[in-house]
A = this chain, B = another copy of it.
Amino acid sequence: MHSSTDNNIPKRGFTSKEFEARLLKAQEIMYKWELDAIFLTTPPNIRYFSGFDTQFWESPTRPWFLVVPLEGKPIAVIPEIGKNGMALTWVDDIRTWHSPNPIDDGVSLLKSTLEEQTKNFNKIGAELGKEMSIRMPTIDLDKIRKNVSSQIIDGTPAIWEMRMVKTASEVKHIDHICKIASDAYNTLPKNLSIGETERDAVRKLRIDIANKGADATPFMPAVSGPGGVSQIICGPSDRILEKGDILFIDTGSTYDGYFCDFDRNFAIGEISNEAAQAYDLLWLATEAGISAAIPGATTEDVWTSMNKIIEDASTIKNNVGRFGHGLGLQLTEPPSHSFGNKTQILENMVLTIEPGIEYAPGKMMVHEENIVVSKEGPKLLTIRAPREMPIIK
């Protein structure tokens, strides 16, 4: 492992005190939104309130539920196979059924648990809205919506209000994975040569990131092309890296469930003036975006600070739709830095700063850094991209 990360590895998991604080904050927000409970189905939401971690969620076969009440601790309503694992968390009330059950896969047990909740508001929040997909069969959700006496409403705004501002421990986790991936990106030019493929680059970077202490790399697209890349989300392919290419790599790697999300651009052999100018412009736009991310500003302000620099240079505009977003237990979370988005930037939000341009027809470039909004202002979590594009020989 690299020396810069050796002495500062955050402890895995979180204390019961931390989960109590998350719960109390959530309950205040639930009260404000007039919710008697929220019920959760997705891995990041269940993990946020329970600490429960399992790769078993990769299997779509069984639904899992966590009910967070307006008063008292979360209640797990889960398949029998998860009982011993859930018992290791701070959750005490664990209710199980024998799953998969083609007739009733947890629906009755979830319904009776929801019916037990206090009825101050007769409303229960669920993951029905933006930037979420509920993780259960829709036909079973329909049964819950029809048969539970309280109204099941969209709890998404409340849930994002709970998760958007990070705790100090969460920030340490994200900082750690950002440092690991930064180190690995910086090492890549030493390990990769002209004549190797996009897929070689990804394999080497993945292995280096694993060796440096990451748990997983769920996201690592890579694209290359002569003088630039035409898209940034597909790949890697077996395309061979040749002199004059640009190689773009993005990664969401994780440590103890928490993501980094940032990219780097590499020139193969040499760099054209055109690509060097685009790189310079985006490096400066990133500087502006970082500086603008202060408590009290809006995400639109952050977008405007970057967009002004890009518009002044009159390049073709980007088509990513935004210049960055939140991150944490997910690769991308609210808020978005975009035109018209008036989300207030708050202390302890973790954000990407991610300006992108199309600098020639069919040639895109995107830069990206991860920051935390500290009391003293924006603070980098990633090691800043080099001032000039690194060259792979």
Binding site for B on A (CB under 8 A): 12, 41, 52-56, 58-61, 79-85, 88, 98-102, 105, 126-139, 141, 154, 156, 203, 206-207, 210-211, 216-221, 230-234, 238, 252, 319-322, 325, 330-332, 336, 338, 341, 362
Contacts and interface: CB of A to CB of B under 8 A. Distances in A.
Nearest to A325: B61
A55 B133 contact: no
A130 B134 contact: no
**Most B-side CB within 10 Å, residue of A84, A210, A232:** A84
A122 B283 CA distance: 53
Given A100-B338, A102-B130, A138 B141 contact: yes
B230 A84 contact: yes
Nearest to A223: B85
Given A138-B128, A231-B85, A336-B100, A252 B58 contact: yes
B218 A81 contact: no
A137 B217 CA distance: 25
Nearest to A82: B233
A174 to B, nearest CB: 16
Contact of A61 (B41, B231, B234, B332): B332
A133 B130 contact: no
Contacts of A102: 130, 341
Contacts of A134: 133, 138
A56 B233 contact: yes
A100 B321 contact: yes
Given A136-B133, A320-B81, A54 B233 contact: yes
Given A207-B211, A216-B218, 13 more contacts: A54-B221, A56-B233, A61-B332, A83-B231, A84-B362, A100-B321, A105-B130, A126-B138, A132-B137, A133-B135, A137-B156, A203-B211, A206-B210
B321 A99 contact: yes
Nearest to A356: B81
A379 B389 CA distance: 51
Contacts of A139: 128-129, 154
A118 B217 CA distance: 43
A154 B362 CA distance: 40
Which of A132, A203, A321 is packed against the most chain B CB atoms within 10 Å?
Answer: A321
B129 A133 contact: no
A80 B321 contact: yes
A133 B62 CA distance: 10
A66 B252 CA distance: 26
A95 to B, nearest CB: 15
A233 B55 contact: yes
